[in-house]
């Protein structure tokens, strides 16, 4: 797809209501406090703010292979966020901020047509 086609597809998905939320991608900065502790702060990444997105809870299964035991299927619950953007800056360890909630990115998958990025996340606990 050309960049124009990708932009048109994103525009269509946003207008269609596929991405009902707005998010920003953030990176952390660590600095030392006066007492020698570490202070972690988060800031929006330039160009990755006010992005349409969709947050959803998903159920998935995976095979659990334990040494010396038969494998079994484990059903898990998780949260994924579809982001109407692609960037090398959207990666594991960065943070997605939606309204007043924040999520740490745990895995990243870009759609085959590069229209969106689908990330697995965990709720940010401060």
Which CATH number goes with the domain that contains 94? 2.40.10
pLDDT tens readout for residues 84-104: 999 999 999 999 999 889 999
- Copy the structure tokens of residue 112: 């085959």
Cβ distance 58 to 79 under 8 Å? yes
Give how many domains the chain has, as a whole number.
1
67 pLDDT more than 60: no
What is the chain's alpha carbon radius of gyration, rounded to the nearest angstrom? 18
Q: Can you give the residue range of the structural domain that contains 60?
A: 3-123
5 pLDDT more than 80: yes
Cβ distance 87 to 71 under 8 Å? no
> pTM for this structure?
0.79
DSSP string, 1-62: --HHHHHHHHHHHHHTTS--EEEEEEEEEEEE-TTS-EEEEEEEPTT-SSEEEEEEEEEEEE
In the block, residue with structure tokens 């597809």? 9
């Amino acid at each position: 797809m050309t960049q124009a086609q990708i932009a048109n597809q994103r525009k269509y998905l946003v207008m269609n209501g596929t991405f009902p939320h707005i998010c920003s991608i953030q990176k952390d900065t660590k600095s030392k406090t006066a007492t020698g502790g570490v202070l972690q702060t988060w800031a929006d990444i330039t160009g990755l703010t006010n992005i349409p997105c969709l947050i959803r809870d998903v159920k998935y299964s995976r095979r659990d292979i334990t040494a010396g035991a038969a494998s079994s299927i484990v059903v898990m619950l998780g949260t994924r966020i579809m982001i109407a953007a692609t960037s090398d800056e959207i990666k594991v360890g960065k943070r997605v901020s939606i309204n007043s909630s924040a999520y740490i990115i745990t895995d990243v998958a870009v759609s085959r047509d590069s229209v969106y990025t689908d990330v697995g996340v965990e709720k940010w606990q401060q």
